[in-house]
Amino acid sequence: MVNNSVEAGAPVSDHNAELVIVLDFGAQYTQLIARRIREQNVYCEILPFDTSLAAIAAKQPRGIVFSGGPSSVYEEGAPHSDPGIYDLGIPVLGICYGVQLMSYQLGGEVRSADQREYGGAELTIIDPDPLFEGIENIATGLSCWMSHGDKVITPAPGFKVVATTASAPVAAIVNAERKLYGVQFHPEVAHTPFGSRMLRNFLYGPCGCTGKWTASSFINEAIDIIRERVGAAGVICGVSGGIDSCCVAALMHRAIGDQLTCIFVDHGLLRKGEAEEVREQFAAAFGIRLVYADARQRFMEKLAGVSDPERKRKIIGEEFVRVFEEHAESISGAEFLAQGTLYPDVIESGGSKASVVIKTHHNVGGLPEDMTLKVIEPLRLLFKDEARAVAAELGLPENIVWRHPFPGPGLAIRILGDITEAKIKTLQEADAIFIEELRKAGLYKEIRQALAVLAPIHSVGVMGDLRTYGNPIILRAVTTEDFMTADWARLPYELLEKVSNRIVNEVAGVNRVVYDISSKPPATIEWE
């Protein structure tokens, strides 16, 4: 878990005693580094690469990790951290761009590689070091993942080379005296099988961590922070029935009790039967006041004729807030809006100085600047699997803990192009068939997210000896641990055949079903 703050910029509390900082230089894998550290039960916080030396020192971290990044360290304007970091006496691990920056700043040589290296490589440990304790060479070397165009040619003075690959003779370096370490490969990705062990060696070795950070400790600390910030004020929590919002509701309720009012907004873009299902499940699971807001007509009016996905997200984000604000007027002392924002939402919305906007999430970049409620987001810097762990620790029922994610904008971002009542009905029916068959096959829990998409195209078909010109339905199902990366689910052909037959036969206007076999990256899980 990255940060248990209730909002961006909130102070970190007692876990500073065992904090590891990741400085972000813009790598696509930065969040995976943090996640791998948290898997070792070590508190971790991601900060911008140019965080001041004083700010870093004030946090008293046990260790610092430099992420990778797309730049070349020797180019003008390349992101550099304060070189004084190396003199703090805090262990530093540089990964990819990070090892290049460390080498460059300390007097080594870094230049463009003769051959860029993207993909698998074989690592050979040539000088055993505690960083690789418990990791042994095999006959053909250790598999690791490379993604770089530059490389270290000559290490800085005081460093020794401890591992190599065929195209990167300086693949891992160590200066044990100064507790400085660097690797050219990416230990945080699954394609480096020994990576988690190597990170653990760094954390529990030179950093001296002991692994005290758990879902239970997160809950206790988050409750203290919530109470301190909210005081006696009232809090509105938007719930959708998904794991994120329900987890926030349970956490807020444990912290402030009857000061919390939950609001379920029906924007008309829910899955089939979802409004009734959420209200029933929520009422059964919690003793929390729930207000149902029927806002279907106003959302449809706002979205009429809108095709651009970013506009959809922003319109929906603002309208949600307006509904909450209107209800807040009738709730005594309501000052805060609690949201189930997770870290992937923040990252894809451009939450890091060195990152780009992938898509604006309605609860991050879609919030209006003039909103009157103050936002509180207890899970803002947690990944999905961590939110599930917190939810389970809070005692949420399994049907909520393992419910597939459903985006706040709902079917608006699964209907490509403009939105109409007819399109919503078509997609609801197709989606319901897909989810029903996954449950019958016993695969719903194994699949972390499944959805149907309605594309604004038509294709020719034949049904009952007659020509049809209908819509295709695109099915997508993924397996993932953190939702930052995902792979397409290898569903049985027999299941796909059954789903396809049912959709074509039972959903009017659909004559073709296709299955999305794209991973994330390069695709995202949702289509818009």
Positions marked catalytic: 96, 186, 188
- Return the SS3 of 19: strand
Q: Return all residues near 410 (Cβ < 8 A) that are at least 6 apart.
A: 267, 269, 270, 271, 316
- Nearest alpha carbon to residue 258 among 237, 291, 289, 282: 289
**How far out from the chain centre does Cα 479 lie?**
14
Cα separation of 219 and 122, whole Å?
41
What is the rounded CA–CA span in Å between residue 202 and residue 199? 5
Dist CA 321 CA 38 (whole Å): 32
Would you give the DSSP letter of residue 505? Answer: H
Answer left, alpha or beta for residue 464, where phi above 0 means left and psi between -120 and 50 means alpha. Answer: left
User: Cβ distance 102 to 158 under 8 Å?
Assistant: no
Please tell me whether residue 389 adopts helix, strand or coil conformation: helix
DSSP sequence for 255-318: HHGGGEEEEEEE-S-SPTTHHHHHHHHHHHH----EEEEE-HHHHHHHHTT---HHHHHHHHHH
**Cα 265–270–272 angle (5° rounding)?**
130
- Report the C-alpha gap between 410 and 240 in whole angstroms: 10
DSSP string for 321-384: HHHHHHHHTTSTTEEEEE----HHHHHHTT-STT---S---TTTTTS-TT-SSEEE-TTTB--H
H-helix segments, 415-492: 421-440
* Helical spans, DSSP H, in 404-489: 421-440
Per-residue b/e over 123-154, b at no fewer than 16 CB within 10 Å? bebeeebebbeebeeeeebbebbbbbebbbee
Q: Is 20 left (phi over 0), alpha (psi -120 to 50) or beta?
A: beta
Strand 19-24: give its sheet, edge to edge.
43-48, 19-24, 63-66, 92-95, 180-183, 172-175, 160-164, 109-125, 142-154
Q: Which of 429, 519, 419, 506 is nearest to 476 (CA)?
A: 519
